[in-house]
Amino acid sequence: MTTSAHLDAAPVPVLPGEEARITLELRNNGSLVEAYGFEVVGPAAGWTQVEPVTISLYPDTAGQVTLIARPPRDSTVPPGDLAFGVRVLPREQPETATVPEGVLRVLPYAQVSAELAPQMAQGRGRARYRIAVDNRGNHPVAVTLTGADRSQALRFGLPSAPTVVGPGRAAFVQMPVRPRRRLWRGVAVPHSFQVTAVPGVDPRGRAEEASSVEGLLEPDGNPAELTAPAEPVVLDGTYVQQPVLGSGLLRAAVAVLALAGVLVGIWYGLLRPAVRSAAKAAVEEPVAAAASQAARANQQAEAANSAAQGAADAARSVGATPPPVPVEPGQGPVAPAGAQLFSKRLSATATAGGTDSGTYTVPAGKTMRLTDLVLENPQGDSGVVTIAVGGRTLLAPALENFREQDFHWASAILVPERQKVSLTVSCGAPGTPPGPGPAPTTCASAALISGTLE
């Protein structure tokens, strides 16, 4: 073999956003002066270059070139060992080309941001806030959310378990805030509070994540070269507590009472005597006729009740039971006391001009009471997203009109057993998410449905 090339077999660590330099050693074992070109192959080819791009060696001499790897700092490069190769191409004798192989060890890093919306809300009782958590790192993180106010006057409805956010993904958490005590009268009181998002390690230990982390451990099981965890993110917010009996309401009540007193005086002083005499003469004959009709109606009602009681006794004697009332989506009574809280995330991904769906089927023997719906369009795609319940369209907004949008129903939407709730994305064109990185090639939308199962 007239050409030999060598790369160090030990993995070379590199942190996304930085660079690693790797030496490639060459030797010309032939009898001719040879010029060499180079081509990086494998997943690292897009962000690895060779300097110099060509080199010439006399017979029986050696030389070196440097490979410079610069992985981008985004979620497209997961942590772990990444194999690559360098195709060494002799120009005089191309049939003697060789491909030495090496390993890059991509290190994990965390980059978490969060946003509170709205930053200020007001009310006499509960107010709703939404927390958006973005993971711009290259591995999943589990974000723990806590809320606190200096005067300890508020209660925060945050999940007790950490919220797991995948790399390059966003999660949305609903946070109801309510005062510990009612403010019955007086002026509105603002309460400043803070929500802290603390990123940590994903506790679920999924198989694909575990395999990538194993490559970053020393033989004794300790982390090799890991980046520092993301710093906690502190979000400031304000809740303005309104009094139950505001000053405007009190003035309106006084005015209504004064007007009622005037009307009562006019009634008793002027109108009541005249109305009483006219009414007495006008209703004597109709009252008598109505009394006769009421007596006949009472007799008919007693007969109907007797017939109904006889039918019920006959049904019980043969063990019959009345048929159940069918339950249709969007109809039904108030949720029973034993209903279980329920939430489910539906997602769909489609290329431009295509469609994709995500569905959830209500288990047998259960009825879902849908009360809350949050739509997510983190990339800013264009197209249409359709929410259907039992095959009937519930919502069909255009994607370009929102990034996040939520809906809440005072009268719940009922979905019977084995009925489906579906999310369908008709992709017009993928959007452009914030931050660096390549533009997406597909539309990606999701919906969080919440309510109860009973």
pLDDT, position 214: 43
**pTM (2 d.p.):** 0.48
Q: Say what the pLDDT of residue 433 is.
A: 82
Is the model's pLDDT at 220 over the cut of 50? no
Ranges 41-50, 153-162, 218-227, 346-355: which has the least confidence = 218-227
Reply yes or no: is the peptide bond before residue 162 cis, omega within 30 of 0: no
Tell me what percent of the residues of the chain surpass a pLDDT of 90.
59
Q: Which has the higher per-residue pLDDT, 226 or 243? A: 243
> Which backbone phi and psi does 284 adopt, to 5 degrees?
-60, -50
- The CATH fold assigned to 340-453 is Jelly Rolls (2.60.120)
DSSP letters, 255-294, are HHHHHHHHHHHHIIIIIHHHHHHHHHHHHHHHHHHHHHHH
Write the CATH number of the domain with boundaries 112-241.
2.60.40.10
Check residue 211 and give its pLDDT. Answer: 39
Identity at 47, one-letter amino acid code:
W
- pLDDT at residue 233, as a whole number: 94
Give CATH for domain 3-106: 2.60.40.10
Mean pLDDT of the chain: 83
How far apart CA 23 and CA 51 sit, in angstroms, is: 10
What pLDDT, on the 0 to 100 scale, is given for residue 203? Answer: 55
Rounded mean pLDDT, 323-328: 45
Cis peptide bond prior to 324, omega within 30° of 0: no
Is the pLDDT at 99 greater than 90, yes or no? yes
pLDDT at position 224: 42
Report how far residue 355's alpha carbon sits from residue 426's, in angstroms, rounded to the nearest whole number.
4
pLDDT computed for residue 275 by the predictor: 56
d(CA 8, CA 173): 47
Assign 325 a pLDDT band (cuts: 50, 70, 90): very low
In the sheet with 154-156, reading across from the earlier edge strand, the strands are: 112-117, 127-135, 169-179, 154-156
pLDDT at 410: 80
- C-beta atoms surrounding 245 within 10 Å: 13
Q: What is residue 6's predicted lDDT score, i.e. its pLDDT?
A: 93
pLDDT of residue 279: 56
Non-local (6+) Cβ contacts of 30 within 8 A are: 2, 3, 59, 93, 96
CB atoms within 10 A of CB 324: 6
Query: Do residues 158 and 141 lie in contact, with contact meaning Cβ atoms separated by under 8 Å?
Result: no
Q: Is the pLDDT of residue 196 over 90?
A: yes
Distance CA 205, CA 91 (A): 50
Res 267: pLDDT: 75
Summarised one tens digit per residue, pLDDT across range 35-83 is 999 999 999 999 999 999 999 999 999 999 999 999 999 988 999 999 9
pLDDT for 364-410, tens place per residue?
989 999 999 999 998 899 999 999 998 899 899 999 898 898 999 88
